[in-house]
Structure 1
């Protein structure tokens, strides 16, 4: 009897042990919602989208008047183009290395220069999200500094005026709510996720699309006109476009209006603001692109503001 009782106890113990083991094996750590972790951190630390575009531009005349020696100018053009001429005191860097280059500022305000201002806008997002909250871009890039570096004039156009996919009246699409994107990252803490996503965004560089391609097939994209309503009323818009501007922030839950499954195409006046917006969205997990050269590539002759006209004539050095 004692032996039988012992065997029963042993069988019961083994059964309980197997049950506990199966419970342990069945338990899985809940998946981290990295989008929520990151966006909560950004909103709470004044790193929302609207914080990227606050006091973020200086034009060539303003930079020259303020004195170039008072700024730490990072030139993002190729080494070969930098050698043909650059602003006195500027340092050359790739876009991918801009955060490392910024460490040399030694307290000076950073100004990012590139060919047209669009790559600089990408770099600005990376820097502002990495602690350099007062950095600026040189408006129009080096094209605005001197005619020697003009990359703008050849890219202006009135192609939208002849396009059947440009609406001259305000028939802007009404926004609806979407789910948030699933953020691809390996890290779990907000700061680490942000660093990982900024590095990813920089590795991709400026995500630009030609105005002609969007005008040819606007239904292929989720198009966001980043203008005021008054500007849409005055100039019109690409057919099928939404207008998400003032409320396109984390705090306002404006990101719900973007389709995470679509290619989000943002356009503005010059391609500089839309490069900023699309880069920020790419950090958050959207597939976002910017119409290069903005409205200047679609209806330049009609514009009454933010219109490319001509380069400045400010000095440059070659050493």
Structure 2
């Protein structure tokens, strides 16, 4: 009797084993979609629907970048008529001052609010960073033209620019973990794994986007990364020239041009679920877009807040992405005050 029971238990466990092994990535038959890992099913769908990172950053065909700068005063009316503006700052900050026609929404509700919007979505925050994270997620959820307000409310008016002015810094100047050597050789890692049992790429993607929204914006302070680089797998999102001219956090990898599904360049990032993958750029806005995309893919990904501006704002190699220069100078556009 005991032997029969053992046989029954073993037979009952077979389908469970097959399902769980598929999701772990044990792809027994790549030609049978039922046996593909959820990651592969989702990323196949993303590739087929122009959701590789290059399209998230620039829009299908490179037509709509993920950010839109504050308009010139003469273009304000056209700007306001173009967008459904979702302001994800606190209710207190919104009530103090906001853009005409904007709607205050919680970050957790951005997908629901975007689905209900009647016009192209523009997400607004304090500095542009959380809004870029949100815009990236919205683009993966089907709002391909969703944008973030570049520099956030800091670029709209001096009165709302405090967040950027308070968070530039120069700790990297002379720091022992600030380096100028060549980038380390690229590494190759396995695909991330997550526990979703579905053969529908669109459904898997929607679940992943919703989960990332629920978890909130994943960030780390630049000073923490600079002081303890060994706690992270660091990805420097500079050009090759800027990697040398600006300098970089010690032993930061440079996964930029190849960071996409097409060609497998994303495999240059550590997929271990215990590895904190942190990306940094010049302003923290592009890295926010990348981090949201990586989070959806299953990486334990973080964006370094304020980017290069936060740790080496006075670096003499600066170009147009320096806070307080060019497009980042507040436009002194009108504010609505409740």
- TM (norm. structure 2) is 0.84
Distance of aligned partners of 1:174 and 1:295 in 2 relative to their CA distance in 1, 3 Å threshold? same
- Does the alignment pair 1:316 with 2:328? no
User: Are the aligned partners of 2:66 and 2:136 in contact in 1 as well (CA < 8 Å)?
Assistant: no
Question: Residue 184 of structure 2 is aligned with which of 153, 173, 176?
Answer: 173
Looking at structure 2, the residues matched to 110 and 208 of structure 1 have their Cα atoms a distance apart, in angstroms, of 23
Query: Deviation of residue 22 (structure 1)?
Result: 7.9
Query: Deviation of residue 74 (structure 1)?
Result: 0.8
Count of paired positions: 302
Alignment correspondent of 2:236: 225
For residues 146-185 of structure 1, the aligned pairs below 5 Å read: 146-150=157-161, 151-167=163-179, 169-185=180-196
List runs of 5+ in structure 1 lacking aligned partners.
Answer: 1-16
Query: Deviation of residue 67 (structure 1)?
Result: 2.6
Query: Deviation of residue 105 (structure 1)?
Result: 2.3
| 54-63 or 300-309: bigger deviation | 54-63
The CA RMSD over aligned residues, in Å, is 2.1
Higher CA-based Rg = 1
Question: Residue 253 of structure 2 is aligned with which of 242, 261, 272?
Answer: 242
Alignment correspondent of 1:27: 14
For residues 1-319 of structure 1, the aligned pairs below 5 Å read: 24-25=11-12, 27-28=14-15, 29-30=18-19, 31-32=22-23, 33-54=37-58, 55-61=65-71, 64=76, 66-106=78-118, 108-150=119-161, 151-167=163-179, 169-261=180-272, 262-302=275-315, 303-309=318-324, 310-319=329-338
Looking at structure 1, the residues matched to 9 and 222 of structure 2 have their Cα atoms a distance apart, in angstroms, of 58
Query: Deviation of residue 68 (structure 1)?
Result: 1.3
Any idea what SS the aligned residue of 2:314 has? helix
Query: Deviation of residue 23 (structure 1)?
Result: 7.9
Looking at structure 1, the residues matched to 191 and 244 of structure 2 have their Cα atoms a distance apart, in angstroms, of 30
Any idea what SS the aligned residue of 1:60 has? coil
User: Are the aligned partners of 1:185 and 1:197 in contact in 2 as well (CA < 8 Å)?
Assistant: no
